[in-house]
A and B are shown apart, each in its own frame.
Chain A
Amino acid sequence: MGTKQAVVVGLAMLVVAATAKAGPPAGGTISGKVTYEGTPAKMKPIDMSKEPSCAKMYTTPPLAETVVTGAGNTLENVVVYISAGAPDDAVPSTAAVFTQKGCRYIPHVLAFQVNQEIKIQNEDQTSHNIHPLPKINREWNKSQPPGTPAISEKYDKAEIFPVKCNVHPWMHGNFAVLKNSHYAVTGDGGAFSLPNLPPGKYTVTAWHESYGDQTQEVTISGSESKTITFVFKAKPY
């Protein structure tokens, strides 16, 4: 198992090296935005009264983050990634950081690559518990008292799954473990951009935690950049 991965990773590295030698890649780009139609559910304010140390960090109670919308019906926290057509990439040396602050997860959706290190840190004065709920990856459940070192973990299979804090029921986030480096998480304005795509035929997938996922086929030739839009169907409840 482990060795197999090593081989895969090794190959991936070679590919990268090769492209690198071939000079600046003829990088095509897929960009666009994610929107919704219909009326999304109204996000309720989170009642943190049971955790005063967090509650006092907000003047008005923060809203739940399952559906975050922007101006012009744009949708945030959507993971847009290449689900097919791109080779597995080398594992980045930098760690993806997942922060617990004010009894919320920052970012709400954390996207990173297979076997990439993730660092989970607790900036609150209270003890948190991190309990990711993967289906195919190894499940673990650890607590992190304030002032303890960051938890470092890895996932060896591509999967998108929720993360929860057993101590604070309202704390829910998502981990998106992806095969390659071509991904983006939509922020304010629902925009995304996947640069440096070598020519080829790609399947682009957009995933949202409560609206599910959509895919589009995109072909990139040369260094052209294509614009696509994902439109999700919003439900009032």
Chain B
Amino acid sequence: MQEGSVQEAHVHAPPGGFLRKYVFSLDHKVIGKQYYALALVAVFTGMILSWLMRIHMVWPNAKIPLLELFSKNGAPGGVMTPEYYLSLLTMHGTLMVFFVLTNAPFAAFGNYFLPIQIGAEDMAFPRFNMMSFWTTFVAWVVLMLAFFIPDGPPIAGWTEYAPLSAVGKDAGPGMQWGASLWGISIAIFCVASLLGALNFIATTLDLRAKGMTLMRMPLCTWAWFITSCIALLAFAVLFPACILLILDRHAGTSFFIPGGLVISDRLQPHSGGSPLLWQHLFWFFGHPEVYIAILPSMGIVSHILVNSMRKPLLSARVVIYSMMSIGFLSYMVWGHHMFVSGMNPMSSLAFSFPTLTITIPATVLTLIWLGSLYGSNLQINSASLFALGFISMFVAGGVSGFFLAQPSIDIYLHATYFVVGHFHLVMGVASLFGVFAGTYFWFPKMTGRMMSEPLGKLHFWITFVGAYCIFMPFHYLGLIGNVRRYQSFVDDFMAPYIGWHKFVTIAALITGAGQLVFLYNLIYSRFKGRPAPENPWNATSLEWSIPSPPPWNNFGGKHPIVYHDPYQYGVKGSKGDFVMQDSPEHVVAASGD
């Protein structure tokens, strides 16, 4: 049946009709753009939420008039209530982790470029592909609904720890229907991601062009492939967890709710459930999710760096193996989120070791990137700036992992701003830098127009410096024991440090505003940008061997044949300094491996 769809989608004339072309398109390129658009909406929503939170946190009694118009209960008289702060916190986390960090680097770019980079005309199952996007879209709609129901979004944080998330309205405002919507939305999202991952894997395994051996795949294709393997496991586990949560909430079961709980003066009619069960199931997904967010960016960044260095990496193989081992290890470390959660202290040590071990492949990657820079011919442009920024951010966020990986230190640092700084840098900012780099690099191919370089560079400087100003202080505040997820700091202990929080808030406002430059650049260049040539960056991989933007069937019915490793740069004795993957030209000594 899927075969049938492949044919219908591609054998005959290009897809006709507005709906088939732009809405329910089976074309992986359109679907990729749709994912990108959704992520863009989500990221700006999430950013505005973080603004509101930061403002309220440092000026707790500040009136935000517009907010009252948006939610009367959430902000009576324009002053945000404690529960609404938590609602925003939950929605910020959920939007960013699921709809931005999972969608943008993985689903969006993966959909658009994975098939092209392996020389395929489309995904293995175009219908599934369309379904995954629209299912994701439904998940997003369901989640956003929480803003518009009377009791508002849930207040249990993006981890939705049971029993807080499981007992329903007694747990507080937002925990009646808000939390249910959350559970349903995430369950739907899981299905979508499973379909997507399945599609990616099948495509990579089976639709590679002649001569495109696994080892000849570009590094970002590898990253997307490994990521989809991780996603397949992770979401397959989160889905059951959500089902059980929803049953606890609405069917009166007791999977996560123990007996004898008295909440809001009411004895809860449950018995025997295990709150730790939720934590285990959630983090078994949750930690790999971190790598689902970061791995694609690693791939994209490597792909772009090689191109702007005009010379191969020290070793593409090592990069691939490192990414594989990160993916593999990511399944043995979820417990490090639960060091102080009452888990058996023995297992804490058991989880700590692999967690520290992950730093080895991560360091290998970093050293490979750095080492490759040596003696290169580095071209500076918006794309490569963000790629270099990624390395800097990845290191900055990575080293703080050393602390949190150790149970004994985690006793002190757990649930402080140190953690917030850590995961925002390494998971949030770093992988977004990958997305930005990818955008500046591939925009010409996706739209047929170049993005504005000056604006791109301006965007980089604001974002790069801004991100450090926001997230570095978090580490310091964590060191003095500043607890996270507080809507305001009521204790005198924090008084001397509020200044730092104010600084962060202002930095966040400026950096956020800086993203408008990016938005403007996207929209402006899409329509008014300089027309892009077929291969503006003198790159070697297959996506640059076809027109910009690519025709509906990618290779115009031709069937690329691959002769080389993906990164033939600085090749001696060839016309240019590079040889494309599909050029039959004989390469004397392939530099690199």
Interface residues of A, Cβ cutoff 8 Å to B: 126-127, 129, 131, 133, 139, 141-149, 151, 162, 164, 166-167
Are B77 and A127 in touch, CB under 8 angstroms?
no
Of B77, B83, B264, B266, the contact of A148 (CB 8 Å cutoff):
B77
- Please report the number of residue pairs spanning A and B whose Cβ atoms sit closer than 8 angstroms: 46
Distance between B267 CB and nearest chain A CB, rounded to angstroms = 13
A139 cross-chain contacts in B, Cβ below 8 A: 169
Are A147 and B490 in touch, CB under 8 angstroms?
no
A162 cross-chain contacts in B, Cβ below 8 A: 265
Are A166 and B76 in touch, CB under 8 angstroms?
no
B76 cross-chain contacts in A, Cβ below 8 A: 142, 144-145, 148-149, 151
Are A133 and B172 in touch, CB under 8 angstroms?
no
Contact with A along B61-97 (1 / 0, CB 8 A): 1000000000001001101111100000000000000
Bound: A151/B61 CA distance, A: 17
B490 cross-chain contacts in A, Cβ below 8 A: 126
Are B173 and A145 in touch, CB under 8 angstroms?
no
Bound: A159/B73 CA distance, A: 25
Bound: A162/B264 CA distance, A: 11
Bound: A126/B266 CA distance, A: 25
Are A146 and B61 in touch, CB under 8 angstroms?
yes
Q: Size band of the B side of the interface?
A: 10 to 19
Of A133, A145, A151, the contact of B79 (CB 8 Å cutoff):
A145
Of A126, A143, A149, the contact of B83 (CB 8 Å cutoff):
A143
Of B61, B81, B83, B265, the contact of A133 (CB 8 Å cutoff):
B265
Give A167's nearest chain B residue, CB to CB. B82
B60 adjacent to chain A (CB < 8 Å): yes
Between-chain CB contacts (< 8 Å), 16 pairs: A126-B490, A127-B82, A133-B264, A133-B265, A139-B169, A141-B172, A141-B264, A142-B173, A145-B79, A145-B81, A147-B61, A148-B76, A148-B77, A162-B265, A164-B264, A166-B264
Interface residue ranges of B163-187 to A (CB < 8 Å): 169, 172-173
Are A145 and B61 in touch, CB under 8 angstroms?
yes
Of B60, B172, B265, the contact of A145 (CB 8 Å cutoff):
B60
Bound: A149/B81 CA distance, A: 12
Are A142 and B172 in touch, CB under 8 angstroms?
no
Interface residue ranges of B45-71 to A (CB < 8 Å): 60-61
Interface residues of B, Cβ cutoff 8 Å to A: 60-61, 73, 76-77, 79-83, 169, 172-173, 264-266, 490
Give A126's nearest chain B residue, CB to CB. B490
Bound: A164/B73 CA distance, A: 18
Are B79 and A142 in touch, CB under 8 angstroms?
no
Distance between B153 CB and nearest chain A CB, rounded to angstroms = 15
6 smallest A-B Cβ distances: which pairs? A143-B81, A148-B77, A148-B76, A145-B79, A149-B77, A148-B79
Are A143 and B265 in touch, CB under 8 angstroms?
no
Distance between A208 CB and nearest chain B CB, rounded to angstroms = 18
Interface centre among A139, A143, A166, A167 (most CB of B within 10 A): A143
B266 cross-chain contacts in A, Cβ below 8 A: 133
Bound: A139/B169 CA distance, A: 10
B264 cross-chain contacts in A, Cβ below 8 A: 131, 133, 141, 164, 166
A151 cross-chain contacts in B, Cβ below 8 A: 76
Give A131's nearest chain B residue, CB to CB. B264
A141 cross-chain contacts in B, Cβ below 8 A: 169, 172-173, 264
A129 cross-chain contacts in B, Cβ below 8 A: 82
Distance between B456 CB and nearest chain A CB, rounded to angstroms = 42
A147 cross-chain contacts in B, Cβ below 8 A: 61, 77, 79
Distance between B553 CB and nearest chain A CB, rounded to angstroms = 57
Give A149's nearest chain B residue, CB to CB. B77
Are B81 and A166 in touch, CB under 8 angstroms?
no
Interface centre among B73, B79, B80, B169 (most CB of A within 10 A): B79
Bound: A146/B61 CA distance, A: 8
Interface centre among A129, A145, A164 (most CB of B within 10 A): A145
Give B263's nearest chain A residue, CB to CB. A166
Are A127 and B81 in touch, CB under 8 angstroms?
yes
Distance between A137 CB and nearest chain B CB, rounded to angstroms = 15
A142 cross-chain contacts in B, Cβ below 8 A: 73, 76, 81, 173
Bound: A149/B77 CA distance, A: 6
Other A-B contacts than A145-B81, A145-B82, A148-B76, 10 sampled, CB-CB below 8 A, are: A127-B82, A129-B82, A131-B264, A143-B81, A144-B81, A145-B76, A146-B61, A148-B79, A149-B77, A166-B264
B79 cross-chain contacts in A, Cβ below 8 A: 145, 147-148
Bound: A148/B61 CA distance, A: 9
